[in-house]
Amino acid sequence: MKQRPDINKLRKQAKQIRIDVLKMLAAAGSGHTGGSLSCVEIILSLYGYKLRYNSKRPDWPDRDRFILSKGHGCPTLYAILAHFGYFPKKDLMDLRKFGSLLQGHPQLGLPGLESSTGSLGMGLSIANGMALAARLDKRKDVRIYCLMGDGEIDEGQIWEAAMTASHYKLDNLCGIVDFNKLQIDGFLRDIKNIKPAREKWRSFGWEVFEVDGHDFKQLMDAYDKAQHIKGKPSIVLAHTTKGKGVSFIENKVEWHGIAPKPEELERALKELESLS
């Protein structure tokens, strides 16, 4: 097991990732701001602590796999992949440009990506396949992580995949839900209430962990505990704030799918840079 990184260092990295994400989106003039900012700690705690990978050899057979099922949150994944050496940080400003590998949803070809995603509901099925493949290949240490949006689990395919993972006892699979309570049309409670989420996943045969999705210690604790669960898959319900870190973006449904304008970017960066 890896030694845990210093949490203060992770917090500084999270702040920089949010700054990078906002700059990328502003340069592109389009993209998904709210859901990118909500999942920073979730993904950063994986790459900064839990995942086994080699950024100089992205195809290392014994690597862990991460699937971003909520593909519209890819600016955060791109920024983190660049931060951990998969490709140069300067390439981040190519987000959504014609011919760029950094498309508006993940597209295979970019170093570090395991799957093209963005058609919501499909990521957990992809993760199931990878978990089964690792078992068939007798790669006992390989683990698969899949991040879903809470609005995404409205999709029926998620629950078919949840049944499949439980049926095959995929204990090398860890799902994560970015539980920010908002989707493109509004609050989950108004669109399609998914409560009680914990009980739903348990009834489908999963081990459930419920954490503050912006708390690195809670996230790392959950990932560690999930690794020791045998005979069934695990899910981490990570409660987050959509647009986390920027007061005028937080919990605002209109920020689901728009990028900051120049004056909004300047205001957001000042706010983030003032944080300790």
* Residue spans per domain, the chain: 7-273
Of the candidates 93, 71, 75, 79, the one whose C-alpha atom is nearest the C-alpha of residue 155 is 71
The CA angle 28-34-40, to the nearest 5 degrees, is 95
Say what the pLDDT of residue 1 is.
65
* Mean pLDDT (whole number) for 8-34: 98
| Of 70, 92, 72, residue with least CA distance to 19 | 92
Q: Which residues of 246-276 are buried (b: 16+ CB within 10 A; e: fewer)?
A: beebbbbbebbebbbeeebbebbbeebeeee
pLDDT higher than 80, residue 234: yes
Q: Say how many C-beta atoms besides its own lie within 10 A of residue 163's C-beta.
A: 12
Say what the pLDDT of residue 275 is: 84
The predicted-structure confidence for 25-83, as pLDDT tens digits, reads as follows: 999 999 999 999 999 999 999 999 999 999 999 999 999 999 999 999 999 999 999 99
Task: Choose between 211 and 275: higher pLDDT.
Answer: 211
Q: What is the pTM of this model?
A: 0.98
Q: What is the pLDDT of residue 42?
A: 99
> What average pLDDT does the chain have?
97
Phi and psi angles of residue 235, each rounded to the nearest 5 degrees, phi first: -135, 135
Q: Is the pLDDT of residue 276 over 80?
A: no
Could you say which of 3.30.230.70, 3.40.50.970, 3.40.640.10, 1.25.40.10 is the CATH number of the domain covering 7-273? 3.40.50.970
> What pLDDT, in 10s, does the model give residues 103-153?
999 999 999 999 999 899 999 999 999 999 999 999 999 999 999 999 999
Q: What percent of the chain has pLDDT over 70?
A: 100
Look at residue 132 in the predicted model and tell me its pLDDT: 98
Which residue reads 């990570």 in tokens? 238
DSSP the chain: -PPPPPHHHHHHHHHHHHHHHHHHHHHHT-S-HHHHHHTHHHHHHIIIII----TT-TT-TT--EEEESSGGGHHHHHHHHHHTTSS-GGGGGGTT-TT-S--SS--BTBTT--S---STT-HHHHHHHHHHHHHHTT-TT--EEEEEETTGGGSHHHHHHHHHHHHTT-TTEEEEEEE-SEETTEEHHHH----SHHHHHHHTT-EEEEEETT-HHHHHHHHHHHHT--SS-EEEEEE--TTTT-TTTTT-GGGSS-PPPHHHHHHHHHHHHT--
